[in-house]
Amino acid sequence: MTAVGIPKGWDATPRTCGATGCYVTFTPKSPRHTYCSSRCRYRDKDAGRPDVVKKTRERCAAWYAAKKTDREERPWLLGPPPYADVLPGGGFTIAFAPALRWPLELRNARLLHGVMTELTAIPHHETMPMFTLVPMDHGRGQWAVWIADEAVARRLAGHAWPAQVADQSVLVRCGPFTRLRSPQVTKRGHQTVRVDLLTPLTIRSMGGAITRVNPTEGNLCSTISSWLPRRLGLDHLRLQFRLLEKRTETVRVDLGGKFGAVLGCSGYFVADVNAPCRWLLECAARGLGMGGRTAFGFGRIRVSDVAEEKEKAA
């Protein structure tokens, strides 16, 4: 043996570790010294053994349970859902020839609702509207429609269809087919947004038996997360919603006929939301609407970023 513990006659020339992916250079101490460390020897020799794999997985599971570092446990850091460039379905503007003798307002939107129900021939869904009436000027005469079924929207768009509006026979002129672009939410974390209610927001529960005219944080969060994600083909989104400010008042709109009076609220609210919740609000603002009775023009909203508005004001 030499003074450094290397066998006599052994070539102590530095060599590269024999483990896959390790390029550390070390000085061998014996002819069988192939790995730079016991860790490399274990990884290269034993990592594929079933008992070793099981032991490794158990150790990793225990570490995960202790650390909880998965981003799913931090919903405020979640990003918007990966989605196509356009939202499903499509829509078009609506005009009448000859013009109606009176303006088509929110209070008589049931007439337009009946026309679109007849033209689309889509069966009503108990909890999810198949189309949304979009008041272009807060419900004072100019309207558009968004239809969940793209094939139906394409069939109607660009054509004129005979219809009966109250006691007047008209042609319903459907504008060019239009797709709604998917919102672009580029930041994560806490986002403070202001939601202005352009037409009354209706929130109902217990199968429509209870109407929430003074919505709470829970009511608003439930409204955003209920049918809107399903309408977009999304099964589950982890939303974060904290109500910071609310200024609303109760509004009563008499639709007449079998629909009676609809109670809702108007005004605005400010909330702290995460990216998935912001994305859904932006979808609602683009034409899908928020809350119930969107097939009658309710729930038309505008979303603005409070931080951006303050920068513009400064």
**Predicted confidence (pLDDT) per residue in 50-84, tens digit:** 777 778 778 878 877 776 655 556 889 888 888 88
The amino acid present at 280, given as its one-letter code, is L
What does the block give as tokens for 151? Answer: 């094939």
- Flag whether pLDDT at 209 surpasses 70: no
The CA-to-CA distance between both ends of the chain, in Å, stands at 81
**In this structure, are residues 234 and 81 in contact, taking their beta carbons and an 8 Å threshold?**
yes
CATH of 90-174, one of 3.40.50, 1.10.150, 3.90.320, 3.30.70: 3.30.70
Q: Is the pLDDT of residue 116 over 70?
A: yes
Tokens describing residue 310:
């303050």
**Domain range summary for the chain, segments of one domain joined by +:** 15-69, 90-174, 191-313
Q: Which long-range contacts (CB under 8 A, 24 or more apart) does 304-310 make?
A: 304/193, 304/194, 304/196, 305/191, 305/192, 305/193, 305/194, 306/192, 306/193, 306/194, 306/270, 307/192, 309/194
* 285-297 pLDDT, tens digit each: 999 999 888 989 9
pLDDT one-digit tens code per residue, 223-273 = 998 888 888 888 778 899 999 999 999 999 988 877 888 899 999 999 999
Identify which of 13-27, 33-47, 79-93, 202-216 has the greatest average pLDDT.
79-93
**pTM value?**
0.73
pLDDT digits (tens, 9 = 90+) for 1-39: 444 555 565 667 888 887 766 767 878 877 778 778 877
Does the 191-313 domain belong in CATH 3.40.50.300?
no
The reply to whether domains 90-174 and 191-313 share a CATH topology is yes
